[in-house]
Protein backbone atom coordinates (compact mmCIF):
# COMPACT_ATOMS: atom_id res chain seq x y z
CA UNK A 1 0.00 0.00 0.00
CA UNK A 2 1.41 3.35 -0.98
CA UNK A 3 1.33 6.54 1.09
CA UNK A 4 -1.60 8.16 -0.75
CA UNK A 5 -3.79 5.07 -0.27
CA UNK A 6 -2.88 4.99 3.43
CA UNK A 7 -3.75 8.66 3.83
CA UNK A 8 -7.06 8.15 2.01
CA UNK A 9 -7.88 5.15 4.22
CA UNK A 10 -7.08 7.07 7.41
CA UNK A 11 -9.16 10.02 6.14
CA UNK A 12 -12.16 7.74 5.53
CA UNK A 13 -11.81 6.23 9.02
CA UNK A 14 -11.54 9.68 10.61
CA UNK A 15 -14.59 10.87 8.64
CA UNK A 16 -16.59 7.80 9.72
CA UNK A 17 -15.60 8.31 13.36
CA UNK A 18 -16.52 12.00 13.11
CA UNK A 19 -19.92 11.11 11.64
CA UNK A 20 -20.58 8.65 14.47
CA UNK A 21 -19.57 11.21 17.07
CA UNK A 22 -21.73 13.88 15.41
CA UNK A 23 -24.70 11.49 15.47
CA UNK A 24 -24.07 10.76 19.15
CA UNK A 25 -23.73 14.48 19.98
CA UNK A 26 -26.94 15.30 18.07
CA UNK A 27 -28.84 12.53 19.84
CA UNK A 28 -27.55 13.63 23.23
CA UNK A 29 -28.46 17.26 22.60
CA UNK A 30 -32.00 16.26 21.50
CA UNK A 31 -32.47 14.32 24.74
CA UNK A 32 -31.15 17.24 26.78
CA UNK A 33 -33.42 19.65 24.91
CA UNK A 34 -36.44 17.40 25.54
CA UNK A 35 -35.61 17.13 29.23
CA UNK A 36 -35.14 20.89 29.52
CA UNK A 37 -38.46 21.55 27.75
CA UNK A 38 -40.24 19.01 29.94
CA UNK A 39 -38.79 20.49 33.12
CA UNK A 40 -39.82 23.97 32.04
CA UNK A 41 -43.41 22.99 31.28
CA UNK A 42 -43.74 20.88 34.41
CA UNK A 43 -42.59 23.83 36.53
CA UNK A 44 -45.08 26.11 34.81
CA UNK A 45 -47.87 23.56 35.10
CA UNK A 46 -47.39 23.18 38.84
CA UNK A 47 -47.35 26.94 39.49
CA UNK A 48 -50.06 28.43 41.67
CA UNK A 49 -51.12 30.75 38.83
CA UNK A 50 -51.68 27.79 36.48
CA UNK A 51 -53.52 25.79 39.12
CA UNK A 52 -55.79 28.74 39.78
CA UNK A 53 -56.43 29.21 36.06
CA UNK A 54 -57.19 25.51 35.46
CA UNK A 55 -59.48 25.28 38.50
CA UNK A 56 -61.26 28.49 37.48
CA UNK A 57 -61.91 27.13 33.97
CA UNK A 58 -63.20 23.79 35.25
CA UNK A 59 -65.47 25.52 37.77
CA UNK A 60 -66.72 27.81 35.03
CA UNK A 61 -67.43 24.78 32.82
CA UNK A 62 -69.30 23.02 35.62
CA UNK A 63 -71.41 26.12 36.33
CA UNK A 64 -72.15 26.71 32.62
CA UNK A 65 -72.73 23.37 30.88
CA UNK A 66 -73.14 22.96 27.14
CA UNK A 67 -73.48 25.94 24.84
CA UNK A 68 -74.20 28.29 27.74
CA UNK A 69 -70.48 28.21 28.59
CA UNK A 70 -69.49 30.09 25.43
CA UNK A 71 -72.33 32.61 25.75
CA UNK A 72 -71.57 33.30 29.41
CA UNK A 73 -67.83 33.55 28.70
CA UNK A 74 -68.42 36.22 26.07
CA UNK A 75 -70.69 38.18 28.43
CA UNK A 76 -68.02 38.10 31.15
CA UNK A 77 -65.24 38.98 28.69
CA UNK A 78 -67.12 42.04 27.41
CA UNK A 79 -67.96 43.21 30.93
CA UNK A 80 -64.35 42.73 32.09
CA UNK A 81 -63.06 44.53 29.02
CA UNK A 82 -65.24 47.52 29.82
CA UNK A 83 -64.13 47.50 33.48
CA UNK A 84 -60.50 47.29 32.35
CA UNK A 85 -60.94 50.29 30.03
CA UNK A 86 -62.35 52.34 32.90
CA UNK A 87 -59.76 51.24 35.48
CA UNK A 88 -56.90 53.47 36.53
CA UNK A 89 -53.69 52.76 34.64
CA UNK A 90 -52.00 51.55 37.81
CA UNK A 91 -54.76 48.97 38.40
CA UNK A 92 -55.08 47.53 34.89
CA UNK A 93 -52.48 44.76 35.11
CA UNK A 94 -53.72 43.49 38.47
CA UNK A 95 -57.29 43.58 37.17
CA UNK A 96 -56.47 41.69 33.97
CA UNK A 97 -54.60 38.95 35.88
CA UNK A 98 -57.82 38.06 37.70
CA UNK A 99 -60.12 37.87 34.69
CA UNK A 100 -61.56 34.69 33.25
CA UNK A 101 -60.29 35.76 29.83
CA UNK A 102 -56.69 35.98 31.09
CA UNK A 103 -56.97 32.60 32.80
CA UNK A 104 -58.36 31.02 29.61
CA UNK A 105 -55.55 32.63 27.66
CA UNK A 106 -52.89 31.38 30.11
CA UNK A 107 -54.12 27.78 29.92
CA UNK A 108 -54.75 27.91 26.19
CA UNK A 109 -51.27 29.24 25.43
CA UNK A 110 -49.75 26.63 27.72
CA UNK A 111 -51.42 23.80 25.81
CA UNK A 112 -50.61 25.45 22.48
CA UNK A 113 -46.95 25.47 23.54
CA UNK A 114 -47.17 21.79 24.49
CA UNK A 115 -48.78 20.99 21.14
CA UNK A 116 -46.00 22.89 19.36
CA UNK A 117 -43.29 20.99 21.24
CA UNK A 118 -44.89 17.63 20.44
CA UNK A 119 -45.78 18.49 16.81
CA UNK A 120 -42.22 19.56 16.05
CA UNK A 121 -40.78 16.57 17.91
CA UNK A 122 -38.88 18.79 20.33
CA UNK A 123 -40.63 16.85 23.06
CA UNK A 124 -41.06 13.20 22.02
CA UNK A 125 -44.59 11.86 22.43
CA UNK A 126 -43.54 9.05 24.75
CA UNK A 127 -41.94 11.55 27.14
CA UNK A 128 -44.88 13.97 26.94
CA UNK A 129 -47.55 11.31 27.38
CA UNK A 130 -45.58 9.91 30.30
CA UNK A 131 -46.61 13.07 32.16
CA UNK A 132 -50.06 13.81 30.66
CA UNK A 133 -52.81 11.25 30.11
CA UNK A 134 -56.06 11.68 28.20
CA UNK A 135 -57.82 12.62 31.46
CA UNK A 136 -55.25 15.35 32.12
CA UNK A 137 -55.90 16.73 28.63
CA UNK A 138 -59.71 16.72 28.79
CA UNK A 139 -59.65 20.44 29.42
CA UNK A 140 -58.80 20.77 25.72
CA UNK A 141 -62.03 19.42 24.17
CA UNK A 142 -64.31 20.27 27.07
CA UNK A 143 -63.21 23.84 27.79
CA UNK A 144 -60.51 25.27 25.55
CA UNK A 145 -61.79 24.26 22.12
CA UNK A 146 -65.35 25.56 22.67
CA UNK A 147 -64.07 28.81 24.21
CA UNK A 148 -61.46 29.35 21.46
CA UNK A 149 -64.08 28.77 18.75
CA UNK A 150 -66.59 31.03 20.48
CA UNK A 151 -64.01 33.76 20.95
CA UNK A 152 -62.99 33.52 17.29
CA UNK A 153 -66.63 33.96 16.27
CA UNK A 154 -67.22 36.82 18.71
CA UNK A 155 -64.14 38.67 17.49
CA UNK A 156 -64.95 37.76 13.87
CA UNK A 157 -61.49 36.28 13.28
CA UNK A 158 -62.52 32.66 12.81
CA UNK A 159 -61.25 29.59 14.58
CA UNK A 160 -57.62 29.76 15.67
CA UNK A 161 -55.17 27.52 13.81
CA UNK A 162 -54.06 25.93 17.07
CA UNK A 163 -57.33 23.98 17.36
CA UNK A 164 -55.98 21.24 15.08
CA UNK A 165 -52.86 20.91 17.22
CA UNK A 166 -55.00 20.83 20.37
CA UNK A 167 -57.17 18.08 18.93
CA UNK A 168 -54.16 16.03 17.83
CA UNK A 169 -52.54 16.37 21.27
CA UNK A 170 -55.74 15.10 22.88
CA UNK A 171 -56.49 12.37 20.32
CA UNK A 172 -53.01 10.85 20.54
CA UNK A 173 -53.05 10.65 24.34
CA UNK A 174 -53.10 7.15 25.81
CA UNK A 175 -56.30 6.12 27.53
CA UNK A 176 -54.85 5.29 30.93
CA UNK A 177 -57.50 7.06 32.98
CA UNK A 178 -60.79 5.99 31.47
CA UNK A 179 -63.44 6.64 34.10
CA UNK A 180 -64.31 9.46 36.43
CA UNK A 181 -64.39 13.19 36.10
CA UNK A 182 -61.62 15.76 36.12
CA UNK A 183 -59.61 15.43 39.26
CA UNK A 184 -60.74 11.84 39.81
CA UNK A 185 -58.78 9.24 37.92
CA UNK A 186 -59.31 5.54 37.92
CA UNK A 187 -56.98 3.27 36.07
CA UNK A 188 -58.36 0.42 34.01
CA UNK A 189 -55.69 -2.23 34.50
CA UNK A 190 -56.83 -4.00 31.34
CA UNK A 191 -55.62 -1.05 29.27
CA UNK A 192 -52.25 -0.54 30.98
Gap between the terminal Cα atoms of the chain: 61
pLDDT top residue among 53 and 160:
53
pTM for the predicted model, two decimal places = 0.74
Binned at pLDDT 50, 70 and 90, residue 189 comes out as very low
Average confidence score pLDDT of the chain: 84
3-state secondary structure at position 47 = coil
- Contact partners, residue 165, CB within 8 Å, separation at least 6: 112, 115, 116, 119
List of E strands, the chain: 177-179, 186-187
In tens, the pLDDT along 114-169 reads: 998 888 888 888 888 888 888 889 999 999 999 999 888 888 877 777 788 888 89
pLDDT at 142: 94
pLDDT at 155: 81
pLDDT top residue among 179 and 160:
160
- How far is it, in rounded angstroms, from Cα 73 to Cα 69? 6
- How far is it, in rounded angstroms, from Cα 44 to Cα 66? 29
pLDDT at 190: 32
pLDDT at 34: 72
Amino acid sequence: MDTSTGIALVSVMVAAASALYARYAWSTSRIAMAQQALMSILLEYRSAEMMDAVKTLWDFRRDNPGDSMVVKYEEIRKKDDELWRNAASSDKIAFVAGTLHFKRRLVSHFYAYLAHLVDHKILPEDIFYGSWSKTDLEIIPQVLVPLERGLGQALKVGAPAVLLSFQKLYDNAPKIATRGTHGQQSIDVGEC
